[in-house]
Chain A
Amino acid sequence: MGAILRAERTDRAAPRVDQLGGCPGYAVPDPVYGAVPGRPGRVDRPDLDEQTLVVRAQEGDAAAFEQLARRHQAALYRLAVRVLGNPTDAEDALQDALLDAWRRIGRFRGDSAFSTWMYRVVTNRCLGVLRRRPPTAPVHEMAEPATAPGRSPEHVVEVDAGMDALRAALRQLPDGQRVCWVLRELEGLSYAEIAEVTGASETAVRGRIHRARTRLAEVMGPWR
C-alpha cells in the first residue's frame, strides 16, 4: 500500500498522553522491546514484523537490532560452527559478524531477505577466519575418522561414530564447498539463496555442493 494518509497538525493543545490511554505512567517512557532474558525491564515484541525491525534498526534503534539478532542468532551460530568446526571460533565469529551487521545495516536495501543478508555477513566473517588459519592436512592425509585402530565400523557405536566421521569429513572439504554444503543441506537454503550469500553463480554453487556431497559420500563409505 502506498502513502494513503498525509496530514499536518499544528494544534498545540494536545491532550495528555495518559488521558488518551496511550501510555500510562509515561513520565519516563522506555521504548522497550521486551522481557529479554538477562535484560530486566525489556519487553519482547514478537508481533513486530521483520521489515519494521530492520527499518527501526537502520534508524539507530539498538533494541530493534537486538530483537533481529536474537531471532537469527541460532541459525547463524549453527552456520559458523559447521563452517569453522569448533564452537569457540564460532562464538567469536558470530559476535564479530553481528557487530558488523549493526554497523552496516544502513546498507541493507531489502533486495534479498534479511536472513540472507545476515548469512552473508557471517559467511564472510567465517571465511576471513579460515583464511588466517594455518593450512590443515590435505585430504589424503586425513585419518580415517572414528575408526580406531583394530576396530571396524561394525565395532564402534555406529551412530555417534558416523556423526564424528561426517564432522571430520566436513572439516576436510575446501572452504567454499563446505559453506555451500552447510547452507544447502543443514540450513535448507535454495541454490539461488546460496548464490546470493556467497556471491558465486548459481551454477557454481550447484557444482560445489555436488562435489561436496560426492566427497562426503566417498569418505562415509565405511558407515554405509
Chain B
Amino acid sequence: MAVNRGTGTGVEQDGAEPIELLACGRDAAQVWDHAARSELDEHERGCPHCAAAGADARTLDRLVHRMAAEPLAPPPSVMDQVMGAVLAELRPPDLLSLASPYGPARLSRPAAAAVLRHVVDRVGGMQARSCRIAPLAEAGGTGPTAVLVAMTVTAQFGVDLASVSARVRQLLVAAGEQALGIPVCRVDIDIVDVFDDTTPRGNRS
C-alpha cells in the first residue's frame, strides 16, 4: 500500500502513531473500510493508491471471513466448572427465618425469590424480573416472619393487566404460604415493560 509517511497529518492515537494518509491524501483506514464494504467512491475507484489499499483489504478479507466462520465452541466442562464455583459461592447470610416448632429454620432469600418468580412466569402474559422479599419488621410492620414482596414484571402486550396482576398477586400469596411457609402480607407489582408475542425470543429489551 502506498502511504505518505512523511507528511501524514492524521490524528494522534492516545500517544500512538497517527493513522497514515495515502499518497493521494485519503485516510487509509477509511479507504479500507469502504473497500471491505464494497463502497468505494468515485475517487477511490480511480486512484491507484486507493486501489492498492482496496486490494489489500479485499485479499485479507477473504481469509478473515474464513477465520470468522470457523466453528469454535468451548467444551461443556467450562460451564460445568463455572456453575460449580458459582453455586459454591452462594452466600448463606441472606436468609429468611421460617416459623418452626422444631427449632430454627431458615431459607435463602434468593431461592425464595426464584420460587416466586417461577410462579409469575407460569402465568400467561407476565414474566417476573426483580423480586425483593423484605421481612415486614424491616418494612415497618410488626410480624416477625411475614414478608413484603416487591416484584417488577414484564407483561405481554394486550393482556388485561388488572386481571392478570390480581391473579399473580393471589398466586404469590398462596405460594408464600404453601410452598415457602412464609406469610406474604403485601405484594407490590410494578409493570416495567411490555413484550409482544411476535418479538423474537431472547431479543426483548
Contacts and interface: CB of A to CB of B under 8 A. Distances in A.
Interface of A: 1-12, 14-17, 20, 22-23, 26-32, 37-39, 45-52, 55-56, 59-63, 65-66, 69-71, 73-74, 77-78, 81, 90-91, 94-95, 98-99, 102-103, 159, 162-163, 166-167, 185-188, 200-201, 203-204, 206-211, 213-214, 216-217, 220, 223-224
A17 B171 contact: yes
A83 B102 CA distance: 57
B186 A9 contact: yes
Interface in B51-82: 55-57, 59-60, 63-64, 66-68, 72-82
Contact of B73 (A52, A77, A185, A200): A77
Given A62-B87, A95-B81, A51 B187 contact: no
B38 interface: no
B202 A49 contact: yes
Given A47-B201, A66-B79, A5 B191 contact: yes
Contacts of A69: 79, 82-83
A159 B80 contact: no
Contacts of A94: 74, 78
A47 B161 contact: no
B179 A26 contact: yes
B118 A208 contact: no
A62 B90 contact: yes
A7 B28 contact: no
B120 to A, nearest CB: 9
A163 B165 CA distance: 57
Contacts of B121: 45
Nearest to A62: B86
Contacts of B19: 206-207, 210-211
Contacts of A66: 79, 83, 86
B40 interface: no
B14 A38 contact: no
Those 6 A-B pairs whose CB atoms lie nearest each other, nearest first: A31-B114, A49-B204, A207-B13, A60-B110, A210-B29, A14-B173
Nearest to A8: B186
B175 A37 contact: no
A59 B130 contact: yes
Interface centre among A5, A20, A45, A223 (most CB of B within 10 A): A5
15 contacts: A5-B189, A7-B169, A8-B187, A14-B174, A17-B178, A23-B179, A27-B179, A51-B205, A56-B128, A59-B131, A74-B72, A102-B82, A185-B68, A213-B57, A223-B63
Contacts of B162: 5
Interface string B174-197: 110111000101111111111100
Contact of A52 (B57, B80, B129): B129
